[in-house]
């Protein structure tokens, strides 16, 4: 008798998480646990007024990165930074990291030095310590990082706190990491086609390549918000793209939102890349992943303070759930905004990088529309 198996890819990323969660539902829940699965990091009580936050992420060669175009020191940096980003998204300060590394047989001591130098540099930059881990041989380079952070209970920010009337805010600029990936993939293709006669030209794209290979966690932004006396009502980091993250906040907070497309900032270099590939730069900004900026909401009384902050943009408003998540631009008017972010396990790992592409252009999707179209 043959048994039939269900491929994991049939679940999709969210279905997969729901499925895992259902298998774990019988574990008795501690009264000190404040948030488990379903936010950027788990949060639990660690004292009378202190909360700890904990997050973990894996980076796997061939799925999350391509070793041919990321120096190992950048990879070490990025592995720490993406975890710090999740801690920061809870309005928390990172404290400790552990690192487990699977090293393939062709990995050299020099490459390992680079990897750990990069991690050390990131730990110093974010004021945290690397306190342990594990190593093993592996078929491909593999990193699993856990970061623990701390926040006063009165300061913690979840995805679930956005209210109708709040303003939607974004730090920095977006779409750059995706533009950087486009450039790198294109250069790799040229190299494969033309062989050694090809001279990569990366000079013109320093900024976007750096956004892709060496992203920054925005600890400085939560420090700036604190200084300005602003506590966001909800927050998430932009790992899967602005559109996808707005949906996460909407879902967890039980609200809808309108994103003003012209207000979503991108760097001129991001535009140059989009132009070169004849893509829509707004699609890069809305759907490109891995920028690790912070998307957050603030109460109306705080919007002036946000306006006064450098490097933070107000990109939209929070509305009733029935209106759904929409995008507004003068050209198209009000349109439903599809999440369209990265969907892990959705296809062969290599194409995971490229969920959207010029041809497919899943910018705005009518089928999801449930609002009033006003
Ligand atoms: Mg996150």
Q: Where are the domains of the chain?
A: 18-155, 159-368
Ligand 1 centre distance from Cα of residue 372 (Å): 30
**Phi/psi at 199 (nearest 5 deg)?**
-105, 110
Fold of domain 18-155: 60s Ribosomal Protein L30; Chain: A; (3.30.1330)
pLDDT score at 304? 95
- Residue 179: both structure tokens together: 């533009």
Locus of tokens 């300005």: 228
SS3 (DSSP) at 344: coil
CB 100 within 8 A of CB 131: no
Q: What confidence score (pLDDT) does residue 224 get?
A: 97
Centre of ligand 1 from the C-alpha of residue 4, in Å? 34
Task: Round to whole Å and give the CA distance between 289 and 284.
Answer: 8
3-state secondary structure of 176: helix
Residues 196, 197, 200: CA angle, nearest 5 degrees:
85
- What pLDDT does 212 receive? 94
Ligand 1 centroid to Cα of residue 41, in Å, is: 7
Q: What is the pLDDT of residue 272?
A: 97
- How far apart are the CA of 2 and the centre of ligand 1, in A? 40
Question: How many A from CA of 290 to the centre of ligand 1?
Answer: 10
**262 token code pair:** 């012209």
Centre of ligand 1 from the C-alpha of residue 276, in Å: 30
Tell me what the pLDDT averaged over the chain comes to: 88
In whole angstroms, give the CA distance from residue 249 to residue 244: 9
| Pair 325, 234: CB distance under 8 Å | no
C-alpha 39 – ligand 1 centre gap (Å)? 7
d(CA 52, CA 33): 10
**Å from CA of 350 to ligand 1 middle:** 22
pLDDT at site 2:
67
Calculate the CA 62 to chain-centre distance: 18
Give the SS3 label for residue 286.
helix
Distance from residue 317's CA to the centre of ligand 1 (Å)? 21
Ligand 1 center–CA 239 separation, angstroms: 6
Instruction: Please tell me the distance from the alpha carbon of residue 315 to that of residue 298, in angstroms, as a whole number.
Output: 12
Question: How buried is 299 (Cβ within 10 angstroms: 0-12 exposed, 13-18 middle, 19+ buried)?
Answer: middle
Determine the distance separating the centroid of ligand 1 and the alpha carbon of 151, expressed in angstroms.
Answer: 17
Q: How far is the CA of 157 from the centre of ligand 1 (A)?
A: 13
Handedness of CA 25, 82, 264, 339 (dihedral sign): negative
Residue 284 Cα to ligand 1 middle (Å): 19
CA of 37 to the centre of ligand 1 (A): 12
Q: What SS3 class is residue 260?
A: strand
Q: Where are the alpha helices (DSSP H) in the chain?
A: 12-23, 72-88, 109-125, 176-194, 206-213, 219-227, 242-253, 268-276, 281-287, 303-308
Which two three-digit tokens encode residue 260?
Answer: 């003003």
Query: What pLDDT is recorded for position 8?
Result: 87
CA of 88 to the centre of ligand 1 (A): 9
Per the CB < 8 A criterion, the answer to whether 264 and 308 are in contact is: no
According to the model, what pLDDT value does residue 346 have? 35
Rounded distance between C-alpha atoms, residue 262 and residue 281, angstroms: 11
Q: How far is the CA of 306 from the centre of ligand 1 (A)?
A: 22
Distance 79 CA to ligand 1 centre (A): 13
CA of 87 to the centre of ligand 1 (A): 8
pLDDT of residue 349: 30
For ligand 1, the distance from its centroid to the CA atom of residue 85, given in whole angstroms, is 7
Cα–Cα distance measured from residue 133 to residue 83, given in angstroms and rounded to the nearest whole number: 15
Residue 130 parent element (H or E): strand 129-137
- What kind and span of H or E run contains 333? strand 333-336
Please report the sign of the dihedral spanned by the C-alpha atoms of residue 173, residue 315, residue 247, residue 278.
negative
**Segments of the chain scoring below 50 in pLDDT:** 341-374
Q: How far is the CA of 339 from the centre of ligand 1 (A)?
A: 15
The pTM assigned to this predicted structure is 0.87
Ligand 1 center to 236 CA (angstroms): 6
Q: Note the CATH number of domain 159-368.
A: 3.90.650.10
Ligand 1 centre from 86 Cα, in Å? 5
């Amino acid at each position: 008798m043959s048994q039939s198996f269900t491929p994991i890819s049939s679940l999709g990323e969210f279905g997969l998480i729901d499925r895992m969660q259902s298998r774990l539902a019988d574990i008795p829940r501690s009264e000190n646990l404040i948030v488990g699965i379903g936010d950027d990091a788990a949060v639990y009580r660690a004292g009378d007024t202190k909360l700890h936050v904990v997050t973990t992420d894996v980076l796997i060669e061939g799925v999350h990165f391509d070793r041919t175009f990321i120096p190992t020191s950048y990879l070490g940096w990025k592995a720490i930074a993406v975890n710090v980003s999740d801690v920061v998204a809870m309005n928390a300060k990172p404290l400790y990291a552990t690192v487990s590394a699977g090293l393939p047989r062709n990995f050299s001591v020099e490459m390992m030095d680079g990897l750990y130098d990069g991690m050390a540099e990131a730990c110093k930059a974010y004021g945290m310590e690397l306190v342990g881990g594990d190593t093993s041989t592996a078929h491909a380079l593999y990193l699993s990082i856990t970061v623990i952070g701390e926040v006063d209970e009165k300061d913690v920010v979840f995805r679930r706190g956005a209210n109708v009337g709040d303003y939607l805010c974004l730090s920095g600029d977006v779409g750059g990491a995706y533009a950087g990936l486009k450039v790198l993939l294109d250069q790799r293709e040229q190299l494969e086609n033309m062989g050694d006669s090809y001279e990569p030209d990366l000079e013109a794209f320093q900024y976007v390549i750096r956004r892709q290979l060496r992203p920054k966690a925005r600890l400085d932004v939560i420090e700036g918000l604190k200084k300005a006396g602003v506590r966001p009502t909800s927050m998430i980091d932009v790992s899967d793209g602005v559109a996808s993250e707005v949906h996460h906040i909407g879902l967890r907070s039980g609200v809808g939102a309108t994103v003003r497309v012209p207000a979503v900032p991108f760097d001129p270099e991001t535009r140059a890349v989009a132009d070169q590939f004849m893509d829509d730069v707004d699609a890069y900004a809305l759907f490109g992943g891995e920028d690790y900026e912070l998307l957050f909401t603030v109460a109306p009384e705080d919007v002036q303070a946000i306006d006064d902050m450098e490097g933070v943009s107000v990109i939209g408003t929070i509305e009733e759930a029935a209106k759904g998540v929409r995008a507004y631009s003068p050209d198209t008017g009000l349109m439903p905004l599809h999440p369209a972010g990265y969907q892990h396990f959705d296809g062969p790992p290599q194409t995971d990088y490229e969920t959207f592409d010029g041809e497919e252009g899943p910018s705005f999707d009518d089928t999801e529309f449930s609002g009033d179209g006003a």
